[in-house]
Amino acid sequence: MPKREVFLGTEMETGELMQVGPNELAEKLLKRRIMLKDSLPGVIRNLEAEEDSLSPKVDRMKRSFQDANSKVAEFKNERGIFQTEAGKLIPEVKDIRETLIKSGGMINLDPKWKKRKLLEQIEEIEEKIQTSALDHKSERKLLEKRRSLISENDKWVKDRKDSNPEMISYLDKNRKMSELFKKADKAHSKMIESVSKAQPLYSKLSESSAELKEIKSQLDRARELLSQSDKAIEYWEKRLELGFGDIGPGFRDLLKSKKIVEGGGRSSFAKKTQKNVKSGNLVGEGE
């Protein structure tokens, strides 16, 4: 299929375009510039209206996304504080437990609880959470396991408190540790919920921001074209009046290449093509 050019809304075959004379071409270019000058103000108004409509929406989306991100950061910080405080209590609880065992104060110790070493398991999970790079799925599994161990530990604490009043300090610290871990779990759940809300906001913000950027780009281009219109119209009017040769500064000879070709010389396109062919041959020879 022959190459086609679109010129002022009229399709022309390449051969037909080559037959267009300088005056006809200049008239078409002048007509195009006049048409642009007439139509661009309307185009600019429409783009400005789109920008005015979309900009506040993007600003609101940014604020919503920032608020959602702030919530994520807030709950993440809360989770970290509670986990850190609870983690500090683990060695304290273990030390008190060992002291009670040595002094004989740890009576009626549940063999199952002792065998499973709940505190050690909780401590191990806490170590993984604090030091490992975990994805949401892995972290959720560890938190669920910790939640189960805390629940089991709470039951043991309640049973021991009822039967061993002298263990109040130990049991109170144990209870406080459990409460802090539960608060950390609650903060974590809220953080995940906030992340889920922030993700669609980010997608919408990215899409709308890209759309606004494109509108602004088109608006800048339209304004630039409009600012050039009078100068371009004046240029082609002068060309039609004084011709297409060298008529002074800013008006070089537009027919120079045409004259070279008519005189038997090669066009700039032919020179470029020949240069590329030679370069290709040299590469081939080098291989």
Where is the domain boundary, 182, 212, 242?
A: 212
Q: What is the pLDDT of residues 88-98, one digit of tens each?
A: 888 888 888 78
pLDDT in tens, 215-263: 999 999 999 989 989 999 898 888 888 887 878 888 887 777 777 766 6
The total domain count for the chain is: 2
Same domain membership, residue 280 and residue 205:
no
The answer as to whether 121 is a domain residue is yes
- Are 88 and 208 members of one domain? yes
What is the model's pLDDT at position 239? 84
Q: Is residue 35 part of a domain?
A: no
> Is residue 282 located within the same domain as residue 164?
no
Co-location of 121 and 197 in the same domain: yes
Residue 64 placed within a domain: no
Instruction: Indicate whether 263 and 141 sit together in one domain.
Output: no
Last residue of one domain, picked from the residues 194, 212, 230: 212
Last residue of a domain, one of 148, 181, 212: 212
Q: Is residue 61 part of a domain?
A: no
Secondary structure (DSSP) of the chain? ---EEEETTEEEEHHHHHT--HHHHHHHHHHHHHHHHHHHHHHHHHHHHHHHHHHHHHHHHHHHHHHHHHHHHHHHHHHHHHHHHHHHHHHHHHHHHHHHHHHT---S--HHHHHHTHHHHHHHHHHHHHHS---HHHHHHHHHHHHHHHHHHHHHHHHHHHH-GGGHHHHHHHHHHHHHHHHHHHHHHHHHHHHHHHHHHHHHHHHHHHHHHHHHHHHHHHHHHHHHHHHHHHHHHHHHHH-SS--BTTB--TTHHHHHHHTTPPPHHHHHHHHHHHHHHHHHHH-
Assess whether 183 and 285 both reside in one domain.
Answer: no
**Domain presence at residue 89:** yes
Same domain, 188 and 130: yes
Segments forming the whole domain that contains residue 193: 73-212
Per-residue pLDDT of the chain (287 residues; tens, 9 = 90+): 333 333 344 455 655 656 778 888 888 888 989 998 899 999 999 999 999 999 999 999 999 999 988 999 999 899 889 988 988 888 888 888 787 777 766 554 454 545 456 667 777 777 776 666 667 677 777 777 777 777 777 776 666 655 565 577 777 888 888 889 889 888 988 888 888 888 888 889 999 999 999 999 999 999 998 998 999 989 888 888 888 787 888 888 777 777 776 666 665 554 555 555 444 444 333 33
Q: Is 141 within the bounds of a domain? A: yes
Residue 241 domain flag: no
pLDDT of residue 50: 94
Full-model pTM: 0.54
- Specify if 52 maps to a domain: no
